[in-house]
Amino acid sequence: MLVLALWVTAITALASQTASHWQSARAAAPSAENAPRTFEYRKTRVINVPIIAEGALLGYVIVQFLYGINAKAAEKLNVSPDAFIMDDAFRTLYGDPSLDFRHLEKYDITGLTTRIRSMVNDKLGQGLVKEILIQDFSYMPKDQAPR
């Protein structure tokens, strides 16, 4: 009986010490909910880029972006990065002679997103935009556009 009592006491003391150590380590570690946000994803508005060939409107390229941004740095900005992303995307797509609306699958999407990210980071600060993703990229002929 004495050996059994000593064994139960030792197991109880060890379990108590382990539980105490586990709870103190858990309380010391910051939870993901309480941790400050340093990186977040945002969506731009949809933009419609007209495709003009030989003086006639053929249709529209419809594009929407999703971008990852340093949230702390973005709070300090006076202007949203959306404006810069959409402006450079419009200028690039509108003036790009390699854009063949009949074969959008062959367009260099990686080159487009890399260029936009570099341009935004040059203007607003390096490391602000971590990546730019394509949410939507499609073509709508002129005759299918809503009036």
| pLDDT tens digit sequence for 63-78 | 999 999 988 888 888 8
Q: Indicate the pairing of strand 129-141 with strand 56-70.
A: antiparallel
Q: Which CATH class is domain 39-144?
A: alpha beta
> β-strand 129-141 against 39-43: which pairing, if any?
unpaired
CA angle at 29 for the pair 23 and 34, rounded to the nearest 5°: 115
User: CB of 39 within 8 A of CB of 130?
Assistant: yes
Of the candidates 96, 80, 94, the one whose C-alpha atom is nearest the C-alpha of residue 129 is: 80
The dihedral over CA atoms of 89, 110, 74, 78, expressed in degrees to the nearest 10, equals -20
- In whole angstroms, what is the distance from residue 51 CA to residue 136 CA? 17
* Confidence band for 106, pLDDT divided at 50, 70 and 90: confident
| pLDDT value at residue 47 | 93
How many percent of the chain have pLDDT more than 90? 21
At position 121, the amino acid (one-letter code) is N
Residue 28: the pLDDT is 65
Mean pLDDT of 111-119: 90
Domain ranges of the chain: 1-31, 39-144
